[in-house]
Structure formats: structure tokens, C-alpha cells
A and B are shown apart, each in its own frame.
Chain A
Amino acid sequence: MPDTDYLIVGSSHAALEAVTAIRMHDHSGSVTLVTRDRHPPYSPTILPYVVSGRAKPERVPLRDSGWFAAQGATFVREDALVGLDPDAFTARLESGAMWRYGKLLLATGARPVVPDIAGLETVPRHVLRTLDDAVALREAIGAARRAVVLGAGLVGMHAAENLVTAGLDVTIVERGAHPLPLYFGATAAAMIGQAFAARGARLLCGRTVASAQGGGDGAVALALDDGETLATDLLVVAAGVVPETGYLAGTDIGLGAAGGILVDAHMRTTRPGIWAAGDVTEGPAFGGGVAVSGILPSAVDQGRIAGMDMAGDRVPPYDGAIPLNTYAAFGRHAVSVGDALAEGDDLDVHEDGDPETGRYRRLVLRDGRLVGATVIGEAIDGGILRQLILRRTDLTPVKDAFLAAPRDTARVLMSRLWR
């Protein structure tokens, strides 16, 4: 039976960051990375750009074989974790190989949800999570004239933009009241929606698909809840993701309400010897509670903490995940940080925007401290806003300046904090 001191499952942000962190502390322990994917490590975040053609598949690897050699880590591709025995410290792979590990990191991310819609399982459809998905979608665009995107989250909107730019006739169906409901409020979302509408896309919000039916020629017919039927050559399902945890079947490793692996502030699961990080987890949220964070910066932070803790390095407990999103629609940038959508009597909300110029701002403060921000069409340092939130920096003395010029005021505060 092969064995390794550290077994890392997954080859994306959380996994790679963990390897670096382990090697900062433990130079000699054996490290093995196992991934289901057949490609060198890449980020799911790059995929919309693979679809659009801006990123070439051969240029997306986050690390090359030289990096693995330098880290002294073994990289096993195209083999998936399918079962675990936490008592025996063994992991079973799809190939039948059994690995004995000293410490295990589960960094398997998430997979797209296929919503429970009659017929959807059987019709031709695309999702966007792996490089192969992206290449397949890119190829399919060439042969299609009409496209439907299910879900107006970040993935759906990215995909839709690619389809619109490629000249397809695009319809987006979203269950919520407006696009990007998890990231932007109504005003900001309307501005984004307009950008799509102006390019001929149809955005159907507050609507769901009742059933799907395949036509013989690869076309799909979708019946909406209000009776309308959409015929399309290309269907993209972007209805959210769920943590990838199938291999836990038969173990008692704790899962949270949203299906993520429960972790504490050191990314430890409920079983000794097993850590988890990234999209697969349900862990501490900044400000309290637990959450599935689902964003790249959290995967990096969590991977780092897990790796340090696994190697026995001293690591301060996780601050908790903070939402951080950047989104660009047709070249216009939007940044949202923290609790940007928060509403409540205890909050001091400053919203202003001008759909004409495409500028929009929503700054949310509580007790003089920033809790969240959305900024569109204007330069902002999301990383500094994140620090102000994390540090609970009191903005009272500079509040007017901050509201007038958030970027420069935040930069001054941060520069002073660092010195």
C-alpha cells in the first residue's frame, strides 16, 4: 500500500496553497496530491475566459511540473478519491489504489447542481466547472445560434456574456428577482442587467423552468413556469454548486446544513487527521456563524491555514470568510466586499449611483465601521476595504472623507496602519 505523510485531494487553489504552507514548515515529510482532473492545476475562475478565447487552455496552469519537483511533492492526476476509512487512515481511489496517509486534506471544491427539473437530466446541456467543460462549451458555441442560461449567478452571467459576445441569441432565466442576487442589490443589478439588454440578451427574472425536452437535432425545448416555451440550441446550467463530498459516504465526518464539510478555525474536520479547505467546506464566517464561502480568496486563505496546521506550524485561527467578489460585465468592473447587501436599522447605508455614467456605490457602516461595500464603475482597492472590515477600523473620524472619496481615504488609513 503506498503511503504518504500528507495526502492532499484536489489540485486547485486550496490544495496548492496548502502544499506551499506545509513546505514552509516541514521540508522532508512526503506530500502527495491526488486529483480527479486530467490537466495540470488550473483555476475554475479562469474558465469563462477559456470559453471566450481570451485564455488559451495551454496557458492556464497555475503550476508546472517544475513546481512539484521543487516542492518535493508527488502529483497524481486522473484518479479520484472515492472512499475513506478515517480509523485506518486510508483513502481509496477510483483506480482501486489504497493510500495510507498521516494527514489528509480534502480540497475537492464544489460541483455544479443540476436542478430538479423534469427532463433536465436527459437533455444535452453544459456546465462550467472544469477545463474540459469550458473547451466543450467553447466548441458548442460555434454550432449554435440560440442559447439559454439557467441561473444568473456569477458563473451564469459570465457564460452569458461570452455567448452574447459570440453573437448568439441569449436568454437568461433566473429564479430570483434580479441577476446576481447573492452579490448585488436591485439598483446595481439593474445596471448590470441593462448592459446585457443593450446587447440584445433577454433576462427573465423571477421565473423558473418547469420541464425540459430534447429535440432530435441536439436542440432543447424548455417550458417555463408561466407557460412560455424557449427553444434553444445550447443550454448552460449554472444554477449553483454543491460541495463535492461523495467520497464521505459511510463515514461520520460532520457535514453542515448546506452540505459542506464542517471545519473549525484551523480547518480541522470533526475527525482527527483530516482537514478540509476551500469550496468543499462549511466553516467560520467573519462576524459569526458558519458558511460555504465559495470564493477563490477564501480557498487560498483556508488552504494556507490547513497546510500550516497540518504541518504543526503555529497558525492564528481563521478570521472567518468574508465575501469578496469582482465581476466585470462588458468591460465595466464591479467589486463587492463584505456584507454589501446588508439592510437593517442598526446600519448606516450610503447609496448613490448614476445609471447614465454607470457609476454606483453602496457603503454599509455599523457603529462607524465598514461592514460591506459595492462599487461599480469606479476605482477601488477591494483588498484595503477587506482589511478595514477585518480590523473593524473605526471610520468615525474620517467618515465624510471616506464617503466622498472611499478609495483615497481608505489608502491613507491603510498606509498609516502599516507604518
Chain B
Amino acid sequence: MGRSFDTIRFRAEACDACGQCVIACARAKTGTDDTSRARLQILGGGTEGAELALCRQCTDPQCAAVCPSASLAKDPDSGVVTWEAETCVDCLLCTVGCAYGGIASDPVAGHVAKCDLCDGAPECVAACDRGALEHVTASRLYNTQHEREDLFAPGLSACHGCNSELLIRHTMRHIGRETVVAAPPGCIPGMGVVGYNGQTGCKVPVFHPLLTNTAAMLAGLKTQYARAGRDVTMVALAGDGGTVDVGFQSLSGAAARNDPMLFICVDNEGYMNTGMQASGSTSYGSWTSTTPVGEHMQGKSGDAKSLPMLMMMHNGAYVATASTAFLEDYHEKLEKAYATAQHGFAYLHVYAPCPTGWRFPAALTTEVCRRQVETNFVTLWEYTRDGGLRFTRPVEGRRPIGDYVEMIGKYRHLDQTHLDVIQHQVDERVAFLRRFAAPAGG
């Protein structure tokens, strides 16, 4: 119970119905090129776009519910809806139960056939070079995370829809108990991480430094623990105010000295817990209480400061940006950052769109995060001293910035001129970053 499973994701917009996946499936499953026998079928493909008939490996499979011989069942380990040849009586009731065309009669074999995800390495996905089929394995991550200890108290009181709780729980489960957490003033202590009434909100030592001295205090603590012969990781969970503005001086010093710590900036573009004032990280055009929309002002008039770029220019040992819409990417970076933090300075900049302060529906946070990446408003990359800058999730054919801006209330007043400015900023930022990217293959 409670496990997640691999799935195959279909991106119709990328599919040109070339049929390679269907051939690969027929070969793998029937040893022939007879595509009518393949377990996935691509249909259409004209101007209307391609469509897919494939087993969804349902959590609550109807094919199995209506099977009179108990020949279909969801495998509790792999999540595959398995079919047993020996007991199947070929009554076809499963094909009446399934609403996806995911199980159908193989006319040559004389019985039904369905996708079994090729034991975890689907041939159709391997054969697709259009990026239309994707083997989504994030489940493996969730399952391992689930087995690890949650180091935060239940019931942290973040605003509805805030992704920082997700981020913090994932982070702390991943890096474990031998940790000291610094949470400078901001939403993160505000939601209870440092605790209330003398009780802490987490199961590792946590403290509440000033906005100004977070990095300096962690550097000192690390030295102290090292003297005592203890191997403890220093972690900052700071907002953009405590990083980009007020905390910058001590942060800059720690980065320049390569002080061992993992500094995580959770960027919601402003001082959201004190009344939504603008910070250095607030993006152009944003409404905040200090960059209002009126007769003259149209939200923030300048661009945001890019802290991750600044950290790269400090030659930090490990610097990366991340989005909670791409948790596998985040975990890879977290692992590297954690390893780096044992001996040097690691910085992670994670974006935290704020439903309360930015005014968008709480249910859309992950979609907003995804859209940030799809429009290149946020670029996902990492920097190491040896490898230089590397885009970890390059976006082909970025969506226009309007697709992102339209989701968010704080941009509601913007007109096309503003959009053009933002689009220009985004494209310029990507072009700028590209200059730091190691050449392909390098």
C-alpha cells in the first residue's frame, strides 16, 4: 500500500506517428514486425495530432475487477497489471472493463495481450527519438523517500499550496539526522520549523539566526563541531530576503572562503510573511506592497538580481538551481550539494511561487513551477569548478513568457510592452548563461 510506480508518459504534441514505438513493441513482445499485435498503438497523426492506446497500469484496474478467472492483478511491487496465460479463459470481459483500449485480443496468439512495461525497461520508449514517450521513474524516488525518516513535525503551518514544506521534507529526509539547520527570519521559521512555545518543529537541532549572519553562524558551528571531532552537516533554509538582500554579506564571505555548508535559498521573490514587500529577487513587473500598481508605477520597475549566478561567480564549489516540479532533478542536485557541503560551499536556489502573495490558486503551485521552467523564466542548471555550467533540463522550443505570466495575479496589470520586456530579459538571461556552459561533450 502507498507505493508509487513507474509509468509511461505520452506527449502527443511531440509525436509525429512515426510508428517506431509500435514496431519496437511488436518485436519485443511477439518477435515479429506485425504491428497489429503490438501492445501499444498510435492512432491518427494527421493535423489533429496523434493519440495513444496503451495500458495505464491503473491503480484500481477495471480489467482485473471484471475478470472471472482472476487472471489479471496489479503487482504490488512493480505496479504492473499482470496477466496470467494459464488461467485466462479468453472471455474478453477485460476488454469491456478497460476504458483505454489497454488490453485487446492478439488475433494471432488467440488471447488478450497487454503492456507489461518490459520489466522496467520499456522498448517503445527506447525506440522513440521524438521525445513523445517518456518512462517516468520518479516513483522510485518517492518510494525511497517514503522509507526514510521525516525529520519535520507533522502539521507545519505553511500557507495552503506553498511548496516549501514539500521541499523541506524531501530535503531533510534525504540528508538525514547528522545535521544542524539554520532558519533565518522568513516564511520557513514562520511556518513552524524552528518551533513554537519552546518546542522545535524538527527532529534535528535547529536555530533561528539573524537575517544577516546565517552563513557566518553556520561556518562557526561547523568549525566547532569539527573541533569536537563530529561530522555534522550545516544547512541553511533561508528565504530570498535572507539570501539575496539582508543575508548577502555573510553569504558572500562564506562562499568566497569556501566554508563547508549547504545553503538553500527558497525564493518566493519577496518578504511574503511580513506583508509582501519586494526583495532584490522580485521580478520585473511584479506587484508587491512596496512596488504597487497605480497611475505611475506598474509593479517593480527593475529586474531581479540573480543570486545563483552571483554564487557561480564566487566560484562556489557547487551551485545549482532547482524546481519542485522536477524533483528527480532536485534530488540529483541535492545529493551533489550534500556531498560538497562536507568540505566546501554548496548553494541551491529553489523557486517557491507563492499562492498567497502572488495570487494564484493553491492547487496550481506545481503547474506554475513547471511553467516557469517551460518558459525559461527559470533555467535549471548546475555549476562545478571542474565542469563549469551545465543545463540539467534544457528546454527545446520554450513557451512564450505570456503562458507563465497569465497564471499569476501579481502580473495581472501587465500589457504587451511589459511582456516584451520580460521576454527579452528571459532570452537574454538564457543567452548569458549559455556563454558559461561547457561546450557539448566537454
B51 at the interface (CB under 8 A from A): yes
Contacts of B131 in A (CB 8 A): none
Contact B51 A412 (CB under 8 A): yes
A296 at the interface (CB under 8 A from B): yes
**CB interface residues, B 409-427, toward A, < 8 Å:** none
Contact of A296 among B53, B66, B86 (CB under 8 A): B66
Contact B93 A296 (CB under 8 A): yes
Contact of B52 among A59, A324, A386, A415 (CB under 8 A): A415
Contact B101 A45 (CB under 8 A): no
B52, B91, B97: most-surrounded residue (chain A CB, <10 A): B91
Quote the shortest CB–CB distance from B13 to chain A (angstroms): 10
Contact B69 A383 (CB under 8 A): no
Contacts of A379 in B (CB 8 A): 104-105, 107
Contacts of B105 in A (CB 8 A): 333, 379
Contact A414 B95 (CB under 8 A): no
Mark each residue of chain A from 358 to 385: 1 if its CB lies under 8 Å from any CB of chain B, else 0. 0000000000000000000001111110
Give the interface size bracket for B toward A.
20 to 34
B12 at the interface (CB under 8 A from A): yes
B100 at the interface (CB under 8 A from A): yes
Contact A328 B90 (CB under 8 A): yes
Number of A-B contacts (CB under 8 A): 108
Quote the shortest CB–CB distance from A89 to chain B (angstroms): 30
Contact A335 B92 (CB under 8 A): yes
What separation, in Å, do the CA atoms of A62 and B99 have in the docked complex? Answer: 22
A251 at the interface (CB under 8 A from B): no
Contacts of A63 in B (CB 8 A): 70
B264 at the interface (CB under 8 A from A): no
What separation, in Å, do the CA atoms of A101 and B410 have in the docked complex? Answer: 57
- Known A-B contacts A384-B99, A415-B43; the reply to A326 vs B92 at CB < 8 A is yes
What separation, in Å, do the CA atoms of A324 and B66 have in the docked complex? Answer: 11
Contacts of A415 in B (CB 8 A): 43, 51-53, 100-101
A411 at the interface (CB under 8 A from B): yes
- Known A-B contacts A55-B89, A59-B87, A415-B53; the reply to A386 vs B68 at CB < 8 A is no
Quote the shortest CB–CB distance from B98 to chain A (angstroms): 4
B438 at the interface (CB under 8 A from A): no
- Known A-B contacts A17-B65, A61-B70, A300-B65; the reply to A326 vs B51 at CB < 8 A is no
**CB interface residues, B 42-89, toward A, < 8 Å:** 43-44, 48, 51-53, 62, 65-66, 68-70, 86-87, 89
Contact B43 A326 (CB under 8 A): no
Contacts of B12 in A (CB 8 A): 419
Contacts of A250 in B (CB 8 A): none
Contacts of A49 in B (CB 8 A): 69, 89, 91
Contact B69 A55 (CB under 8 A): yes
Contact A381 B95 (CB under 8 A): yes
Contact B43 A412 (CB under 8 A): yes
Contact A45 B51 (CB under 8 A): no
What separation, in Å, do the CA atoms of A17 and B97 have in the docked complex? Answer: 14
Contacts of A416 in B (CB 8 A): 51
Contact A386 B43 (CB under 8 A): no
Give the interface size bracket for A toward B.
35 or more
Contact B98 A383 (CB under 8 A): yes
What separation, in Å, do the CA atoms of A402 and B12 have in the docked complex? Answer: 21
B96 at the interface (CB under 8 A from A): yes
Contact A297 B96 (CB under 8 A): yes
Contact A414 B96 (CB under 8 A): no
B212 at the interface (CB under 8 A from A): no
- Known A-B contacts A46-B68, A386-B99; the reply to A408 vs B93 at CB < 8 A is no
Contacts of A335 in B (CB 8 A): 92, 95-96
A62, A296, A387: most-surrounded residue (chain B CB, <10 A): A296
Quote the shortest CB–CB distance from A261 to chain B (angstroms): 22
Contacts of B163 in A (CB 8 A): none
Contacts of A13 in B (CB 8 A): 66
B41 at the interface (CB under 8 A from A): yes
Contact B92 A300 (CB under 8 A): no
What separation, in Å, do the CA atoms of A308 and B269 have in the docked complex? Answer: 45
Contact B69 A337 (CB under 8 A): no
Contact of B96 among A43, A59, A383 (CB under 8 A): A383
Mark each residue of chain A from 389 to 419: 1 if its CB lies under 8 Å from any CB of chain B, else 0. 0000000000000000001101110111011
B155 at the interface (CB under 8 A from A): no
Quote the shortest CB–CB distance from B42 to chain A (angstroms): 10
A60 at the interface (CB under 8 A from B): yes
Contact A381 B104 (CB under 8 A): yes
Contact B66 A412 (CB under 8 A): no
B110 at the interface (CB under 8 A from A): yes
What separation, in Å, do the CA atoms of A139 and B69 have in the docked complex? Answer: 21
Question: Could you write out 24 A-B pairs with CB less than 8 Å apart?
Answer: A44-B68, A59-B69, A59-B86, A300-B65, A304-B65, A324-B96, A326-B92, A326-B96, A328-B90, A333-B105, A337-B96, A379-B105, A382-B96, A383-B95, A383-B99, A383-B100, A384-B98, A384-B100, A386-B99, A410-B101, A411-B51, A415-B43, A415-B52, A418-B100
- Other CB < 8 Å A-B pairs besides A328-B90, A333-B92, 10 of them? A44-B68, A49-B91, A54-B89, A324-B96, A326-B93, A333-B105, A382-B96, A383-B97, A387-B99, A415-B101
